[in-house]
Structure 1
Amino acid sequence: MGFFNNAKLEPTPELAPLTKERIKATLEASSWSYHVDSDGDIGSGWDHGVIWFFTYGNQAEILQVRGIWDGKLSPDDLPQALDVVNEWNCDRLFPKGLCPDQRRGPAPGDL
């Protein structure tokens, strides 16, 4: 046996289009609080940061989830953080991690 076989698969129902309303409904179904900013972007806060849900594309058909950690690193920890993030990005396709100089702002990561 194995994971793949020659069995006929039944067609799956078509997915509903991606909409901001579906994103909000999904968050509400999980009892997660969220807010909508003046641009219509959806954000939600968790223990140590904020997660944003963006839609892109000609028909807003692309979902991007971006997390921003609100922690602070000491200047002495920055080289080690850069090493960890660079290793992570080399070994994994996603989520992408960034470790900018914190004097310039927060450190985002894309899912």
Structure 2
Amino acid sequence: MALGGTFRVMLAVCPLLTTFACVSQTNAPAPATDSPQPRTATYSCADGARITIENLGTSVRVLGPDGASEDLPASPANQSSRFGAAHDAIVIDGRDALVMKSGKTPLTCTR
């Protein structure tokens, strides 16, 4: 008789345990590099230069150390961390930005 009761309890508990195992973790902490891009941020680059990136939503405006500016659209259009046009691009990852200019070595910059 005890074996039959144990079997019934196991039948009731198994679906419950399966449900708990399938629940997603929505409150897990974000990765350390995942900090939101502010509207305007100044970055210090590995070569000693400083650039300012203005986040316009679907594009960014990059102001170089010489005062020149360049607008780069999101690439592809549906995301918010990669921007580029022609042979120039910027990839933003948390506090870091990888700046790629045509004919130059990629440059890492940090805000």
Q: TM-score range by the shorter chain?
A: under 0.3
Pick the structure with greater CA Rg. Answer: 2
TM-score, with length taken from structure 1: 0.23
More strand by share: 2
TM-score, with length taken from structure 2: 0.23
